[in-house]
Amino acid sequence: MYVITLFQIFPMNIKVTAGTLVTLASWSSSSIVTYAFQFSIRGTMRTVTAGTIFKALEAAKLDRRLQSNTRVLI
């Protein structure tokens, strides 16, 4: 979409400079997002793993509590 506007409005010397800047900005933002995504995934996986371990320990504790209460009731 920006290419159509670029070709219709601006003279040739500005089109070359603007096209170069747009491409540079696009590649730079893509590389920053890709670089940051690796860290966000790593942090997310650590959080999910910690939450899973916490819930498993909590479930085991609850299971022991329920088993001890069942023995008392029987």
pLDDT band at 11 (very low <50, low <70, confident <90, very high): confident
Higher pLDDT residue, 25 or 66? 25
Burial per residue of 55-71, b for 16 or more beta-carbon CB atoms within 10 angstroms, e otherwise: eeeeeeeeeeeeeeeee
Is pTM beyond 0.85 here? no
DSSP string, 25-60: HHHHHHHHHHHHHHHHHHHHHHHHHHHHHHHHHHHH
pLDDT digits (tens, 9 = 90+) for 39-72: 777 778 888 899 999 999 998 888 887 777 665 5
Whole-angstrom distance between the N-terminal and C-terminal Cα of the chain? Answer: 75
Please report the sign of the dihedral spanned by the C-alpha atoms of residue 35, residue 39, residue 42, residue 45.
Answer: negative
